[in-house]
Amino acid sequence: ETGVTQSPTHLIKTRGQQVTLRCSSQSGHNTVSWYQQALGQGPQFIFQYYREEENGRGNFPPRFSGLQFPNYSSELNVNALELDDSALYLCASSLELPGVGTDTQYFGPGTRLTVL
């Protein structure tokens, strides 16, 4: 069974640039969630994708957007990067059961984004 993978591991960007982070979900999972973890803090929910559509969103501006592909992998895009976007971005996959909800989320190793 393949776990959740993310790429790249590290990324350095400058303010105003755009970035794309990628996530491959665990085998058998159909849902991907993204979280932002600033230094010294707990992860904050950005959004979740199920059946290629956004399925819940946290308190993040529209410049944070995403995609989910038919193979359930996902991308997180951030436009107009700000210094405060520097963080560890975590992807989690899970199995959504219709009418039941989302089961346990399993996390990838994360992508460390530094904005200069």
Partner 1 sequence: AQSVTQLGSHVSVSEGALVLLRCNYSSSVPPYLFWYVQYPNQGLQLLLKYTSAATLVKGINGFEAEFKKSETSFHLTKPSAHMSDAAEYFCAASSGSARQLTFGSGTQLTVLP
Under rule CB under 8 A, which residues in 71-90 are in contact with partner 1?
90
3-state secondary structure of 79: coil
The binder of partner 1 chosen from 7, 27, 41, 114 (CB under 8 A)? 41
- The binding track of 48-67 with respect to partner 1, each residue x by CB under 8 A or -, is x------xx-x---------
Give the closest residue to 106 by CA, choosing from 50, 35, 52: 35
Longest alpha-carbon distance in the chain: 44
Give the single-character DSSP code of 59: S
Residues found near partner 1 in the complex (CB under 8 A): 4, 6, 31, 33, 35, 40-45, 48, 55-56, 58, 90, 92, 100-102, 104-110, 112
